[in-house]
Amino acid sequence: MRSEWGDSADDAHHAYSSGDPAPIEVELVEEDIIPDAPNTAASGTETIRGGSTTWARLVRLPRALRVVGALAAVAALSIALWPNGARTQSGAHSGTPSAPATSTAQQSEVSGDIYKVRVASTELTQDFRDHAVMDLELANDAHTALSVVNAEVWDSVQTRIGFSSNWPAGDLAPAQATSVPIELPYSCGVLQPTPVLPVTIRYSVSTSQDPTISHNYEYPLSQVVWDEFMRARAGLCTGPAGGVFATSVDLAPTTGGYRDSDSVDLTLTMDAVGRPGWNLEALTSSIPGATVTTASLPAALSAGQSVAVLTHWRFTACFDPPDWSSGFSAVEVRIRAGTAPADGSGDQQLMVYLRPELLTRMARSACAP
């Protein structure tokens, strides 16, 4: 087999003057063909070019197709390398930044801290004309900053007696105590029902980062602080002459000879301010559906020393109880000053007002099957 050159170098240079490498054409001439021998070549013309096989095949394409292909490659490369506004330099999306991830252990620790606030002390200030201020000192035993959402004083039939004037009520630094002021209005010109024990302080504590995570506390108010407030209120509302007033009422277990069906006991705590020497003489009531009696009277009442009067209530209409929701009901206590005539001509009437919620609770307790 021999090879014969085709076009001359000048012709090739002239045909590919555009800068493409000049092709080399080799004619393979079949001479001595060895039967069944590998790698034997048939005669023909083969164009051999420099570079890879792929590039050689591309060069064979018409020039118009090669131009279109080059433009398509440039466009694809431009799209791939063009800066994407939805991504940051690090490749992450640059939308709304998310909050830093908090581990479950950290969340549990923060949530647990809202249970570490306690009442350190309570102190009453009576220097205001129409209300008293109770300073509620709260101690934060956690090492996390917390917030006191609100603080209020309530009795057991959902009568709100006092409230914090600020919202939120205060901030609790880690491992520190803070004072939260609670206003207790005197409300002398307003008909006030007698508070039902227990009187409690209710305050709510939340995390400083998320107010929706909170814990509600209920703490019994000291009887000493409550009596102090009620004496100050009575002294302001009754005037310089003073008088007798009811400090509180409380449901009591029925004992002794009073134990019968359809009945319940209620303790009235009475006190006096101003001039001493008051006597509690008798108690009467005109509450529909109930009769009220007591064996605790008469009793002497000294200023600043409260007396508990145990009253026995029997409900006469358990199957058809009256509706007490129209207003307050009242128990009348007849009182007598120490210098008043013994015949009762100088006796006075004291009205102890009770909320309808209390009467409903008493009736349910007395009429329970």
Least confident of 53-67, 130-144, 242-256: 53-67
For residues 291 and 316, is the Cβ–Cβ distance under 8 A? yes
Domain residues for the domain of 351 are 239-366
Q: Is residue 79 part of a domain?
A: no
The reply to whether 221 and 243 lie within a common domain is no
Query: Strand 2-5 relative to strand 24-29: parallel, antiparallel, unpaired?
Result: antiparallel
The reply to whether 188 and 264 lie within a common domain is no
Residue 39 CA neighbour count, 13 Å, CB half: 0
Percentage of the chain lying above the pLDDT 70 cut: 68
For residues 34 and 44, is the Cβ–Cβ distance under 8 A? no
The reply to whether 244 and 360 lie within a common domain is yes
Q: Is residue 308 part of a domain?
A: yes
pLDDT at 57: 52
What digits encode the pLDDT tens for the residues 215-240? 999 999 988 899 999 998 998 888 76
Q: Is residue 9 part of a domain?
A: yes
Domain CATH code at residue 190? 2.60.40.150
For residues 328 and 193, is the Cβ–Cβ distance under 8 A? yes
The reply to whether 59 and 175 lie within a common domain is no
The reply to whether 218 and 127 lie within a common domain is yes
The reply to whether 196 and 244 lie within a common domain is no
In three-state secondary structure terms, 97 is coil
Percentage of the chain lying above the pLDDT 90 cut: 44
Cis (ω within 30 of 0) for the bond into 168?
A: yes
Number of domains in the chain: 3
Domain's final residue, options 226, 248, 282? 226
Please check the confidence at residue 271 and state whether its pLDDT lies above 80: yes
Model-wide pTM > 0.85: no
Q: Which residues of 46-82 are buried (b: 16+ CB within 10 A; e: fewer)?
A: eeebeeeeeeeeeeeeeeeeeeeeeeeeeeeeeeeee
Q: Is residue 317 part of a domain?
A: yes
pLDDT at 214: 92
Q: How far is CA 64 from the centre of its chain?
A: 73
